[in-house]
Amino acid sequence: MIDKIEELLIAIKADYYNWTSKNGTKELSAINKEMIEEFNEAVRFNVATKYIKVTVGGSVWGFVVKTDADKKFKKGDILKAAGWSTPARNAARGNVIEGGYNISWTGATYLK
């Protein structure tokens, strides 16, 4: 599961890079490079009992369900943050184990 979380962090960092470089069409300035480096260093995760919380600096990016014992969600489901310590439990935004999820560097994507 931790490797899948690491893959999620890589995807978050890649999305930030793409956003900063306008999908590779913009040459990065020294400030852009510094911002990307700072962003990458700020992306972290914390493992708790039910969820793995993904943070970027002082903000919660989202949560990943850690347990098989959840009545509504599967292990690996990505949930938006409702607050600092609470996920939004309305619907999963993808699953890190199954892959194929859409994310943004700003957080788990909205439902369609």
Nearest alpha carbon to residue 105 among 50, 48, 35: 35
pLDDT at 110 exceeding the cut of 90: no
Q: Give residue 48's domain range.
A: 2-108
Q: How far is the C-alpha of 82 from the C-alpha of 54, rounded, in Å? A: 13
What is residue 104's predicted lDDT score, i.e. its pLDDT?
A: 95
Q: What is the pTM of this model?
A: 0.93
Give the pLDDT of residue 24: 78
- Name the domain count of the chain: 1
For residue 7, the tally of other CB atoms under 10 A from its CB is 12
Query: Does position 111 have pLDDT exceeding 70, yes or no?
Result: no
Residue partners of 101: CB distance under 8 A and separation at least 6: 78, 93, 94, 95
Tell me what the mean pLDDT of segment 7-26 comes to.
93
Which residues, 6+ apart, have CB-to-CB distance to 68 below 8 Å? 74, 75
In our burial notation (b when 16+ CB lie closer than 10 A, e otherwise), range 65-82 reads bbeeeeeebebbbbbbbe
**C-alpha angle with apex 80: 22 to 11, nearest 5 degrees?**
40
The DSSP output letter for 80 is -
Q: Which residue has the higher pLDDT, 22 or 112?
A: 22
Q: Is the pLDDT of residue 112 over 80?
A: no
Per-residue pLDDT tens over the stretch 35-94: 999 999 999 999 999 999 999 999 999 999 999 999 999 999 999 999 999 999 999 999
